Amino acid sequence: MKKISNYIVIRPISQYFKQNWGILIAFLAMCIFFSIFGNNFLTQTNMVNLLRTCATNCYLAIGVQMAIILAGIDLTGGALAALSGVLCVMTFENFGLPIYMGIAMGIIVGIVVGMINGLVITYTGIHPFVVTLAMQSICRGAAYLFANGSPVTTTNQDFGTLGTGMLGPIPYPVIYMAIFLFLDYILLNKLRTGRHIYAVGGNEISARFSGINVKKIKILVWTISGAIAGFCGVVMAARMSSGQPSTGEGYETDAIAAAVLGGTSFFGGTGSVGGLIIGVLIIGVISNGLNLMNVNSYWQYVFKGVIIIAAVYFDMVKMKRQNAAG
């Protein structure tokens, strides 16, 4: 019995550290650096704010990672979150419907947009980068049109609790993040659908010949990504007590950076939930630590861009070595 428990618990943990030791050391080094040079980095208040920021990025990063595992991309997240948040608040503030219907509206908008992305990518053959970039523009424009260019505000405290409430010392958004990560792990590692996602991303032609419904998998992945982005928009609207059409600008960069830092390969077929968690934490720590050090926020864009280029470059080098060894 003891051997079985060691196999179930200890072995996966040791494999996780073995696979991610490099990025874990980098994360620890950054935490030490910012705890020394950043004011109040290790305070409880800052840790709560850091986790809230990480949660927002994590929602979008989960969907982005799935798309990248499929050798695709999803650039719709931030703009779709803005559109979902605007329509969510409008549903109960402008039309007088119950709050739960507003929340449902935000998520449904995400599902519909994500499904449209999947359908267009699957049946037209247009590259996901082009499709999701176009949809990003459509969602951002639609958010401004519905909101008439200004935030749609609400004073409903029950709705605000969705984004600002806490269960003990843990913010609600962090609890949602943990639930999504758990479901993501189950999907990618324990279900047949997850194995099919990796198979399609690794080699679409082989996956098709092996009997996998490639079209169904693609539509499903972008639908899931859209649904999570819709929920993200609802949570951000609740946190800010308003649906703001400008919300989420640049969030796609953070999500992509978190995914590639966590070891998700742009070549497809590779990526883990454990790596994604570390990637999200690193991006969150960088943003939070630089803010505490009063570094100009514009430099954060520079650092994140460099991170993405470096991560993709090392992924390419790794892939070339594997091909040479194979």
Q: What is the pLDDT of residues 166-224, one digit of tens each?
A: 999 999 999 999 999 999 999 999 999 999 999 999 999 999 999 999 999 999 999 99
> Mean pLDDT, the chain, as a whole number?
91
Q: Which two tokens stand for residue 182?
A: 């758990």
Stretch 234-250: mean pLDDT:
95
Q: Are 93 and 106 in contact (CB under 8 A)?
A: no
Taken in order 24, 30, 31, 33, is the CA torsion positive or negative? Answer: positive
Q: How confident is the model at residue 37 (pLDDT cuts 50, 70, 90)?
A: confident
Name which of 11-15, 25-29, 48-52, 295-299 the model is least confident about. 11-15
How much is the pLDDT for 7?
Answer: 46
Give me the DSSP letters along 204-220. Answer: HHHHHHTT--HHHHHHH
Tokens 């019995």 sit on residue:
1
All residues at 6 or more sequence positions from 190 whose CB lies less than 8 Å from its CB, including other chains? none
Name which of 78-87, 176-185, 247-256 the model is least confident about. 247-256
Give me the DSSP letters along 233-271. Answer: HHHHHHHHTEE-TTTTTTHHHHHHHHHHHTT--TTSS--
How much is the pLDDT for 4?
Answer: 46
Closest CA to 55 of 238, 219, 292: 238
> Does the pLDDT at position 326 exceed 70?
no
- Give CATH for domain 45-248: 1.10.3470.10
**190-228 burial string, b = 16+ CB within 10 Å, else e?**
eeeebebbbbbbbebeebeeeebebeebbbbbbbbbbbb
Sketch the domain layout of the chain as residue ranges. Answer: 45-248
| Angstrom distance (rounded) from CA 300 to CA 47 | 19
Closest CA to 88 of 247, 236, 243, 239: 243
Stretch 116-126: mean pLDDT:
97
Stretch 85-99: mean pLDDT:
96
> Does the pLDDT at position 8 exceed 60?
no
Which pTM does this prediction carry?
0.92
How much is the pLDDT for 295?
Answer: 85
Q: What is the Cα 19 distance to its own chain's centre?
A: 21
How much is the pLDDT for 316?
Answer: 79
